[in-house]
Amino acid sequence: MNSRNSGESFEHELSANPHSYGELDLADPSKVPALIRILDFASEMGASDIHLCSGAPAMMRLHGDLVRISEFAEGFDDDFSPQKINEVIDGIMNNRLREEFTRFTEVDFSVNLTSGDRVRVNLFRNIFGVAAVFRIVPSKLPDFDKLGVPSVMKNVVMKGKGLVLVTGPTGSGKSTTLAALIDYINASVPMHIITIEDPVEFVHLPKRCMINQREVGKSASSFTDALRGALREDPDVILVGELRDLETVSMAITAAETGHLVFGTLHTMSAAKTVDRIISEFPSDRQTQVRMQLAESLTAVISQALIPRKDRPGRIAAFEVLISTPAVHNLIRENKTYQINTVIQTGTHLGMIGMDQSLMMMVNKGIIDPSEARRWALEPKMFPDRPGGTPKTTGNQATTKNPKEEQEEKS
């Protein structure tokens, strides 16, 4: 994020950006420099999020850890009083947002800065007063290759049809991966892309594609309504920021069945669990039919996790990729998703990769520590603690963990 002076720094992009979120007039620019200074510093440090809370010091999410900003620089050690945080927040809201915040006690919005930076904002109230979380969205779109996204995904998205799911826990970089995939399509082929997001994070300008980005609550009433409308808008590609409910999931599958390329996200941790999660959204009397639909429409699942590096500060993405094949179709139809991990292990020649395989490659290269790999592995025993330890592998290493093992990993 570029440095900005307090006199002219915090102005919102308005008519210049067709995806602007309305005229967010500053009530008092003199109250905003404290926030600018925090955002600037956190961005320069490589932080992903900034946390402000009444009566507490400013904190940031740095390489996955929540730390006080004052630990890294002077001048940030004052606690935010309720009055101070109210002044800061009031300076970036318009009347509509103030009304929403008063009515619902929480509100989401994004701010476009003249520097090109974007900040996703979530305001809410707690027992002490107002709190806010700011997500810094880089102005530069992520590069597909630099992110380390498996190259097979280029072939997947170029097929131009089917359901592609990007999954992982909150903060694992799903939005970044999706932005890279959309940008790759945008630079490669002429298509009509519609994105439905809450809120819009990365802004895509037309390259070879026509791109329409819609934000739930501002340019769309809901994911479901926007998705229903998208099917009448001659789309080639539809991105659904989050598959939140049964109706949205059902419409996404239908859109993929009818020849569109549909992207969606879920908070699942593996391809097998992703398929199970999709099916479980439906009533039991519809699940057989949905298995048949999903078997035909699913193109790929890419699951990811951000792992702390040991070779240098930062985090790196580990990926699992499932490519839909006739064998995968049969497993979904026959409700044998527990065998999907085995298909991934035997499908490396098709570009598939298991999470354990991805983690092992990074451990062997000295990029991540075995203890970190164990946190995300399907088979934690593959990553021994002792130096020079030999991973314990079996012929059927990619099996689904039982509930006890899953609970032990979470604890």
DSSP H/E element including 73: none
Strand order in the sheet with 65-68: 65-68, 59-62, 49-53, 129-137, 118-126, 106-112
Outline where 214-264 has alpha helix (H): 223-230, 246-257
345 to 32, 152, 372, 376: CA distances (angstroms): 52, 15, 21, 17
Q: Is the pLDDT at 1 greater than 80, yes or no? A: no
Q: Which residues contact 262 (CB under 8 A, 6 or more apart)?
A: 162, 163, 164, 237, 238, 239, 240, 252, 255, 256
Residue 230 confidence (pLDDT): 95
21-35, 145-159, 254-268: the lowest-pLDDT one: 21-35
Residue 163 backbone phi and psi in degrees, to 5: -100, 125
Q: What is the pLDDT of residues 314-348, one digit of tens each?
A: 899 999 999 999 999 999 999 999 999 999 999 99
Q: How confident is the model at residue 113 (pLDDT cuts 50, 70, 90)?
A: low
pLDDT exceeds cutoff 60 at 402: no
SS3 content of the chain, % helix, strand, coil (to 5): 40, 25, 40
CATH code of domain 29-137: 3.30.450.90
Task: Say whether pLDDT at 81 is over 90.
Answer: no
All CATH 3.30.450.90 domain ranges in the chain, comma separated: 29-137
Query: Is the predicted pLDDT of residue 398 greater than 60, yes or no?
Result: no
For residue 385, what pLDDT band results from cuts at 50, 70 and 90? confident
> Mean pLDDT across the chain, nearest whole number?
84
Collapse the DSSP code of 234 into the 3-class scheme (helix H, G, I; strand E, B; otherwise coil) and give the result: coil
CA distances from 22 to 98, 138, 213, 284, 336 (A): 14, 21, 15, 44, 49
Look at the alpha carbons of 400, 406, 408, 411 in this order and tell me if their dihedral is positive or negative. Answer: positive
Per-position DSSP letters for 362-387, written without gaps between them: HHHTTSS-HHHHHHH-SSGGGS-SST
With CA atoms as reference, report the closest residue to 264 among 238, 283, 292. 238
Domain 144-400 falls in which CATH fold? Rossmann fold (3.40.50)
pLDDT, average across residues 346-355: 96
Closest among 48, 25, 18, 19 to 197, alpha carbons compared:
19
Mean pLDDT of 210-223: 91
Q: Which two tokens mark 197?
A: 């997001």
Read off the pLDDT of residues 277-323 as tens digits, 9 standing for 90 and up.
Answer: 999 999 999 999 999 999 999 999 999 999 999 998 889 999 999 99
> Where does the chain hold its CATH 3.40.50.300 domain(s)?
144-400
Written as one letter, the residue type at 165 is L
Write down the pLDDT at residue 9.
31
Percent of the chain whose predicted confidence (pLDDT) is above 70: 84
